Structure 1
């Protein structure tokens, strides 16, 4: 007679990077605590918020949660990667402080990694929600199509370069569980900035292992006025500069990788976009001379109306530039 022995759950380290969003942070932590998959540690990585979030953590009275707090603001890339390096789990998963997980998120993804050591990530689709947690179903469908998940079937993708760095279907910051020991966490440079999750997806596919796609929406991405995505898309000068610099660094790395050679036309287009974005940010901050080389580089990578228009505007009087929209 045989006896069935249930294997213990693998430890998953949940990383929650945060800065100055206490109410959203409370909701994010709650969604991690409520996971039906119980063997987790939760590392709240605070980037020197004005108010220490320890009091929020104490509200949960859950020994699985701990705080790491930077003595000074380090920026998102260093804040999140520092937390990853402290993780003890077999797997790691990131949860932005303004996003949410469904209760069964880890329970549905982790088993695929446990069952197949040749997988480096398991990922899913996600909902889009507003500042009040309400699902925007129209935006959700648009997002699924935009990130090319509408054409994906459930199963293993190996290799998955196109999924990770072109289609960007693998959403590391919210909807992906990663095999921790498959990543060299010291190889994530600070220059990746806001694009840390894209670069981490690149490292994951470079491991040679595969990705498992689970087509259900198990997480919730919040769009609100204070999110970096919304800020970068508006006229925030520093956000544009940060976005442009991070994009240039990442796409220069990708275009130099021989394994990604067939995607070089795409990377050239993204480099043109990133140089233009950086140039516009510099121009709006009054650094006209510093902006022009980026417009020239953008045109060299890909001739497009946005870059040409921005370059032309850089030669107009400063008082006029401030009034024009690019």
Structure 2
């Protein structure tokens, strides 16, 4: 008697939010279909891309793929959450349209979750690849060290607030499988913006469940000119402002949570840095008065900070000089 393996495997919802990156989207979808774990549904949520990817999605000819296209650009967060809300699987995993999964990604992360109902998520390490899909060895090693995944022990972690919120080791947007039904997707506020992945880690922490770490690189995170990380630097002032606003909101929530008081000073430091960053973004956007209010707030809370003091001083110089000097910030 032959038993369909899919009957023994719980359904996993693969979430792929997308916007105007068809060449990468095709690779992302392909990596989902190539999983050795096959009981999946793939939900592609398009944020009203100028180039409608519906034909690309349909070209896969697989009933496991579902396509949703917004009738207007609703923003990155709303598009992401829309896909999560559509998920029917016992587990959900986010795969961004420019990233790729190793074929054993789900096969290696689902079993720990199935074996222990007290786990809310399982996560792994990741490779860093360039626009052409080539692994950047130095960047990969640096990424693992930066997020301290090279130090995390394999297995279950019950008290994981430091791992999740201080070290930011859990890549919930790129290399993580989450038990569906434990997170209220509507509880992620709009103000969180691009920090939704860190805030999701926070919601997982306060849920009371544990997490599991699988110490292998099972995903490929692509770094290129259009990633949010790249855009939020000097290249795009509005992206810089949005990112700083999201950070201010996020760290303020963490500072107020009595369960995180051990790390209050850490979150306050990041909150102050974000205030200065927002001020710099506003200054570059010719909103000098608003910028100064953030500089003053940061200085009042920490008394002296060279970066903040320098930015405040520059706010009193001619705009053309300010823009040139602030380009290093």
TM-score (norm 2): 0.95
Deviates more, 1:299-308 or 1:271-280: 299-308
Question: What are structure 1's unaligned runs of at least 5 residues?
Answer: none
1:274 & 1:266 partners in 2: Cα distance?
A: 13
TM-fit CA distance, 1:5 = 10
The equivalent of 2:321 in structure 1 is: 320
**SS of corresponding position for 2:85:** helix
Residues 1:254 and 1:316: Cα distance change in structure 2 (over 3 Å): same
TM-fit CA distance, 1:58 = 1.3
The equivalent of 2:105 in structure 1 is: 105
1:323 & 1:109 partners in 2: Cα distance?
A: 48
* Preserved contact between residue 21 and residue 98 of structure 1 (Cα < 8 Å): yes
1:73 & 1:304 partners in 2: Cα distance?
A: 39
- Aligned pairs for 1:1-326 (under 5 A) are 8-302=8-302, 303-325=304-326, 326=329
* Preserved contact between residue 37 and residue 107 of structure 1 (Cα < 8 Å): yes
* Preserved contact between residue 268 and residue 301 of structure 1 (Cα < 8 Å): no
* Preserved contact between residue 188 and residue 200 of structure 1 (Cα < 8 Å): yes
TM-fit CA distance, 1:297 = 2.0
1:210 & 1:124 partners in 2: Cα distance?
A: 15
Residues 1:317 and 1:97: Cα distance change in structure 2 (over 3 Å): same
2:301 & 2:268 partners in 1: Cα distance?
A: 5
Residues 1:88 and 1:289: Cα distance change in structure 2 (over 3 Å): same
For the aligned residues, what is the CA RMSD?
Answer: 1.4
**SS of corresponding position for 1:208:** coil
1:300 & 1:262 partners in 2: Cα distance?
A: 23
2:257 & 2:152 partners in 1: Cα distance?
A: 25
Q: Deviations over 1:260-288 (max 9, x none)?
A: 11111111111111111111111101000
TM-fit CA distance, 1:258 = 0.7
**SS of corresponding position for 1:324:** helix
1:212 & 1:127 partners in 2: Cα distance?
A: 19
* Preserved contact between residue 159 and residue 208 of structure 1 (Cα < 8 Å): no
Q: Deviations over 1:22-44 (max 9, x none)?
A: 10111111111111110111111
1:301 & 1:268 partners in 2: Cα distance?
A: 9
TM-fit CA distance, 1:307 = 1.3
Question: What are structure 2's unaligned runs of at least 5 residues?
Answer: none
